Amino acid sequence: MGKLLEEIITFNRSFVEQQKFEPYLTSKFPDKKFVILTCMDTRLIELLPASMNIKNGDVKMIKSAGGVVSTAFGGIMRSIIVAIYELGAEEVLVIGHYDCGMSSINPQKMKDKFLERGIEEETLTILEHSGLHIERWLRGFDDVSESIRSSVSLIRNHPLVPKIPVHGLVIDPATGRLDIVDEGYE
Ligand SMILES: [Zn+2]
């Protein structure tokens, strides 16, 4: 077993043995009936729930790079739909953050990194020929508020999403301060 995994499993065994899970026991249905889509940024792991008074069991939380819904029928949108119909979420909060890594992504440079890491040029060519616009697919955003509004709009207008409030917010990854960029109540 590799070192990282070994460390994790060793810690995990003692976590379970000492019943440290007890404070986290809850059900799979969110007590505060909403679902959050946010960014996978490391600074938000604990800060975002803490700054919103969210505990284990309170909400459904979906994460993606940038907190972006990029396609109407991808995994992120499917998760939102499952949260609404199967798990009792009654509102959706899309939360981006300032200083997001997705705002500085350079797809052309990432393609260079693919090649440096051993991906064949031919593979990229095949993907492009089969219809994947790699640069468009990897593209981030210039303005986080704009990106959040666009994801909110995609969710609100999705043919399988019922009439429920969908909100857009942006969080400060240092202080946890939330700014509303698009309120979903009519
Ligand atoms: Zn981010």
Per-residue pLDDT of 113-150, as tens digits, reads 999 999 999 999 999 999 999 988 898 899 999 999 99
Quote the ligand 1 centre to 37 CA distance (angstroms).
11
Quote the ligand 1 centre to 139 CA distance (angstroms).
13
User: Are 120 and 165 part of one and the same domain?
Assistant: no
% of the chain at pLDDT higher than 70: 99
Quote the ligand 1 centre to 115 CA distance (angstroms).
25
Residue 1 banded pLDDT, cuts 50, 70, 90: low
Q: What angle do CA 95, 100, 105 make, to 5 degrees?
A: 130
State the pLDDT at residue 2: 74
User: Are 92 and 152 part of one and the same domain?
Assistant: yes
In a domain, 3, yes or no: no
User: Are 49 and 83 part of one and the same domain?
Assistant: yes
Residue 36 banded pLDDT, cuts 50, 70, 90: very high
**For the residues 100-104, what does the mean pLDDT come to?**
91
CB 180 within 8 A of CB 52: no
Quote the ligand 1 centre to 173 CA distance (angstroms).
9
Number of domains the chain contains: 2
User: Are 37 and 68 part of one and the same domain?
Assistant: yes
**For the residues 86-103, what does the mean pLDDT come to?**
96
pLDDT at residue 90 is higher than 80: yes
In a domain, 2, yes or no: no
User: Are 82 and 39 part of one and the same domain?
Assistant: yes
CB 76 within 8 A of CB 52: no
Among 169, 140, 166, 171, residue whose Cα is nearest residue 80 = 166
pLDDT at residue 104 is higher than 90: no
In a domain, 173, yes or no: yes
State the pLDDT at residue 30: 87
In a domain, 7, yes or no: no
In a domain, 67, yes or no: yes
In a domain, 149, yes or no: yes
CA distances from 131 to 77, 124, 169 (A): 21, 11, 33
User: Are 93 and 59 part of one and the same domain?
Assistant: yes
Domain that holds residue 115: 106-139
Please give the model's pTM, rounded to 2 decimal places.
0.92
**For the residues 89-97, what does the mean pLDDT come to?**
98
In a domain, 66, yes or no: yes
